[in-house]
Chains A and B, each alone.
Chain A
Amino acid sequence: MSTATTHEEATENHEVEHHGLSDKQYIVIALILAALTAIEVSTYYVDFGPFFMPTLLILMVIKFVTVVSYFMHLKFDNKIFSYLFYAGLLLAIAVYCGFLATFKFFLKQG
């Protein structure tokens, strides 16, 4: 027969086929995202002082992860998808931060 048989490694995930949230929940998430965006934009009008950068970066990460986890279902989907995507993402962050850092070290050298 063909390979169309499941075997030990196959993760049986027919139940999670229709994973994710209800439409209502999606809307709630969108509202949260909207609120976060509002805070982000408010940094333009209100002085956050030393919290300016951290706030923005943290909000950015939260929004990013929220969209990926809920809208893109990554939270509910098979782990392999998470590995594939986050591998690329984390590699990109590591490599490019390293790359930008080398310029900093050069500047320190003079």
Chain B
Amino acid sequence: MTIIERPSTEVAIAGAVPVGVKPSEALGVFKRPAASSSWRDWVVTVDHKKLGIMYGVAAFVFFLIGGVEALLIRLQLIAPDGKVLNADQYNQMFTMHATTMVFLFVMPMAAAFANYFVPLQIGARDVAFPRINAFGFWCFLFGGLFLNSSWFLGGGADGGWFMYAPNSSTLFSPSHGVDFWTLGLQITGIASLTGAINLIVTILNMRAPGMKMMRMPIFTWMVLVTQFLLLFAIPVITVALFLLTFQRSFDATFFDVASGADPLLWQHLFWIFGHPEVYILILPSFGIISEVIPVFSKKPLFGYPVVAMSGAAIGFVGWGVWAHHMFASGLGPVSVTVFSMSTMAIAVPTGVKIVNWIMTMWGGKLTFAVPMLFAIGLVTQFTIGGLSGVTHAVAPSDTQQTDTYYIVAHFHYVLFGGAVFGLFAGFYYWWPKMFGRQLSESIGKWNFWLMVIGMNMTFGPMHILGLQGQPRRMFVWTEARAGEGLFNFGFWNRISSIGSFILSIGILLFIINIFYTHKMKKGALASNDPWDARTLEWMTDSPPKEHNFDVIPQINHLDEFFHRKYEQDSATHSVTQVHSADEVMAELNAHPDEHIHMPSRSYWPILLALSLPVIGYGLIYNRMLMAVGVAMVLLTMFGWAMEPATSPDEDFDPPESGDTHAKELVPHG
């Protein structure tokens, strides 16, 4: 964890030709990678947009993996005494399902959007630390692969995603699954922490002139809050994971009850991280739909400052509620009361957001393209999940609900109906900007409706199942406890399992839509501003050039782009379009910036990240290998430190052919 960026390695000043160092000689190992259009470019890239796309692709693959795990779970539960999985496999399945979805899908997918769009939204040319950005991505990818490699090396972790001690100790979980889990999360944690520092600095420091904090797009705001949550939450889980690793690998006693340990230590540490984590999962999606709803309502976000501040408030209060996951753990009534109250309090700022979204639509001119459908989907589905959350906050009721399917219903409504719907809104909204083609609206609508219906069929019945007493994490349920009549557990479990397949058809349609759009070239080429949007990322090409903007615009308004296109008569309040998007861009780009200097590609991020799983495997299998990994870390960090962030102009090899991917070295004109 602490081997992330050291200041000593951050020594170059862009533009200042470093004294005495020829970057191409750095360490004498690698010649600095040059621009190219082959896959190699993706390996060494530090471009925030390429990294964003890679984050997105990798996260989506993990989504499918987590989804297939979920489908296996649902298959097992479709009937009593299921035979699809045995107990051991089932326990691994839900543990890895949750871990994959939370840490390898939603978080990195949000990071994908943040990476790609935050610099664009604030009018920057890249993030503050591009190489660290690349390093973060590779840490996520290698951490995720490392974690999933456990499937082939004796089985995945089997302790549930919150991995309560002492069930996670070697005595009770002897396979290496938990070791892969702790180390894998440790590695992806590095990605989150470095990403947090990077994005916060980017947002605070790299805004276009005139882009005050209160003129930032709300997505950027929510990313800012999220990254602060990550900045402070990740170290907490890091401590917990270290303690568990020390316990498992070096016989420390932290969770060894025989030596007097208190298992609640783990629970506290996990949930002090874990609750901020759930807001880490949802806030980016809140941000996305706060972009989408105004665009498709043709109105600014209602109460922009209130929405921004309520996001911050959620982030803040979110630190004081963790023990609501422990109402049955045996805290005293005083603690329970305090945490019950604070949990209820958090519904207030969240409610503010819901209200503001509705008020944004209120009085608008609503069109229902797919992004808007998903956004409305989020508002409705999340509200259901949020309200069941409030019923958990009532601690005595929660002692009836906790660890039943009612909880499973709650968190899938907020996670799937909330976070995932928001991400899908983002896919459809930003796709044309990222890939230059419009996804099919009609397939998109099928995609949406199948997902809504599927998710309500899958997770809706879980409310009933849970309240009727079906506990979670049961590899089988039994007829004996299923109740009688038509609407017994059997019925609802069947509906739920069928629903999950409808849901996956919906998701499959998204994949089909991508093929349809790109492989079959059926998708229309996207204009720069297909949705008549309001924020800066639409004020550039689709897809944007490597340097994002030919000219960094001067910002005078919230929703700058909209204000350049439209004018509102101050007396009649009638709004008229005065410029088309293309006109705005033509005007802006009349005098492009000169000497745009972009950060240079580097081998070091991927190499440094690659050494971390080596340490991981080493810790599990062979301490010699661990030493190799540590040596790799030191070497690559040294190489990194010796390499200036931006190579001086003469260092560039001209690309062999074409010029689309060439460095923007020459004046534009």
Q: Which residues of A contact B (CB under 8 A)?
A: 1-3, 5, 7-9, 80, 87-88, 91-92, 94-95, 98-99, 101-103, 105-106, 108-109
Asked if B331 lies at the interface with its beta carbon under 8 angstroms from chain A, I say: yes
Chain B residues with Cβ below 8 Å from A94 are 319-320
- Docked Cα-Cα span, A108 to B333, in Å, equals 10
Inter-subunit contact B331/A5 (CB<8 Å): no
Contacts of B571 in A (CB 8 A): none
**B593 with A1: CB separation less than 8 A:** yes
User: A91–B332 contact, CB under 8 A?
Assistant: no
- Are A3 and B335 interface neighbours, CB within 8 A? no
Nearest chain B CB to A42 CB, angstrom units: 33
* A2: chain B residues within 8 A (beta carbon): 552, 593, 596
Task: Give the CA-CA distance A99 to B319 in the complex, in Å.
Answer: 11
B4 interface residue, CB < 8 Å from A? no
- CB of B335 within 8 A of CB of A106, answer yes
Q: Could you tell me the distance between the alpha carbons of A80 and B319 in the complex, rounded to whole angstroms?
A: 21
A106 touches B209 (CB 8 A): no
Cα of A101 to Cα of B332 in the assembled complex, Å: 10
B106-137 interface mask toward A, CB cutoff 8 Å, 1 = contact, 0 = none?
00000000000000000110000000000000
Q: Is the CB of A106 within 8 A of B272?
A: no
Kindly state the separation between the CA atoms of A109 and B335 in the bound complex, as whole angstroms: 11
B332 and A3 contact, CB distance less than 8 A: no
Are the CB atoms of A102 and B268 closer together than 8 Å? yes
Per the bound structure, the CA–CA distance linking A91 and B233 in Å amounts to 10
In order of increasing CB-CB distance, the 8 nearest A-B pairs are: A105-B332, A109-B332, A7-B209, A102-B335, A105-B334, A105-B335, A99-B268, A106-B332
Does B341 reach chain A (CB closer than 8 Å)?
Answer: no
- Give residues 203-237 of B contacting A (CB, 8 Å): 204, 206-210, 212-213, 228, 231-232, 236
Please determine whether A9 and B232 come into contact, CB atoms closer than 8 angstroms.
no
What are the residues of chain A within 8 A of B593 when measuring CB–CB?
A: 1-2
Bound CA span A8–B262, Å: 54
Q: Residues 162-206 of chain B: 1 if any A CB is under 8 Å from the residue's CB, otherwise 0?
A: 000000000000000000000000000000000000000000101
**CB distance B204 to A7 under 8 Å?**
no
- In Å, the complex CA distance between A9 and B203 comes to 13
Q: In the complex, what distance in Å separates the CA atom of A103 from the CA atom of B330? A: 10
B319 A3 Cβ-Cβ under 8 A: no
Q: Given the complex, which residues of B lie within 8 Å of A102, measured CB to CB?
A: 264, 268, 323, 331-332, 335
Q: When A1-B552, A3-B208, A5-B209 are in contact, do A106 and B232 touch as well, CB less than 8 Å?
A: no
Which residue of chain B has the shortest Cβ distance to A110 in the bound complex? B332
Q: Are A91 and B552 in contact (CB-based, < 8 A)?
A: no
Q: Total A-B pairs in contact (CB under 8 Å)?
A: 58
- CB contacts (< 8 Å) of B228 on chain A: these are 87
**Which residues of B lie under 8 Å from residue A7 when comparing CB positions?**
209-210
Residue in A closest to B213 when the chains form the complex, CB atoms: A9
Quick check: B232 and A88 within 8 Å, CB to CB? yes
Contact indicator per residue, chain B 261-278, by CB within 8 Å of chain A (1) or not (0): 010100010001000000
List CB contacts (< 8 Å) of B412-452 with chain A. none
Chain A contacts of B231 at CB under 8 A?
Answer: 88
Knowing A102-B335, A106-B335 touch, does A3 contact B268 (C-beta < 8 A)?
no
In the complex, per-residue mask of B537-555: 1 if CB is within 8 Å of any chain A CB, else 0: 0000000000000001000
Query: Which residues on A sit within 8 Å (CB–CB) of B212?
Result: 8-9
1/0 contact trace for B378-421 toward A, CB 8 Å?
00000000000000000000000000000000000000000000
Contact of B232 among A1, A5, A8, A91 (CB under 8 A): A91
Whether A3 contacts B206 by the Cβ 8 Å rule is: yes
Contacts of A105 in B (CB 8 A): 331-332, 334-335
| B residues less than 8 Å from A91 (CB atoms) | 232, 319
Q: How far is the CA of A5 from the CA of B323 in the complex (A)?
A: 48
Chain A residues with CB under 8 Å of B124's CB are: 3
8 contacts between A and B (CB under 8 A): A3-B207, A3-B552, A98-B320, A102-B323, A105-B331, A106-B264, A106-B335, A108-B332
Query: What is the distance, in angstroms, from B260's C-beta to the closest C-beta of chain A?
Result: 13
Interface centre among A92, A102, A105, A106 (most CB of B within 10 A): A102
Q: Quick check: A95 and B210 within 8 Å, CB to CB?
A: no
Give Cα A102–Cα B334 distance, bound, in whole angstroms: 8
B333 and A109 contacting across the interface, CB-CB below 8 Å: yes
Cα-based distance from A101 to B606 in the complex (angstroms): 43
Extra A-B contacts (20), CB below 8 Å, given A1-B593, A87-B228, A109-B332: A2-B552, A2-B593, A3-B124, A3-B208, A3-B209, A3-B552, A7-B210, A8-B210, A9-B213, A91-B232, A94-B319, A94-B320, A98-B320, A102-B268, A102-B323, A102-B335, A103-B262, A105-B332, A106-B264, A106-B332
Residues of chain A within 8 A of B332, CB atoms compared = 102, 105-106, 108-109
Find out whether the CB atom of B319 lies under 8 angstroms from the CB atom of A95.
Answer: yes
Name which residue of chain B comes closest to A105, CB basis: B332
How long is the Cα–Cα vector from A8 to B213 in the complex, in angstroms?
Answer: 12
Chain A residues with CB under 8 A of B264: 102-103, 106
Contact partners of B335 in chain A: CB under 8 A? 101-102, 105-106
A5 to chain B minimum Cβ distance, whole angstroms, is: 6
Other-chain contact of B272, A3, A80, A99 (Cβ < 8 Å): A99
Select from chain A the residue with minimum beta-carbon distance to B271: A99
A79-B208 Cα distance, complex, nearest whole Å: 21
Tell me the smallest distance from the CB of B589 to a CB of chain A, in Å: 13
- For the complex, give the distance between the alpha carbons of A109 and B204 in Å: 47
User: Taking CB as reference atom, which chain A residue is nearest B122?
Assistant: A3
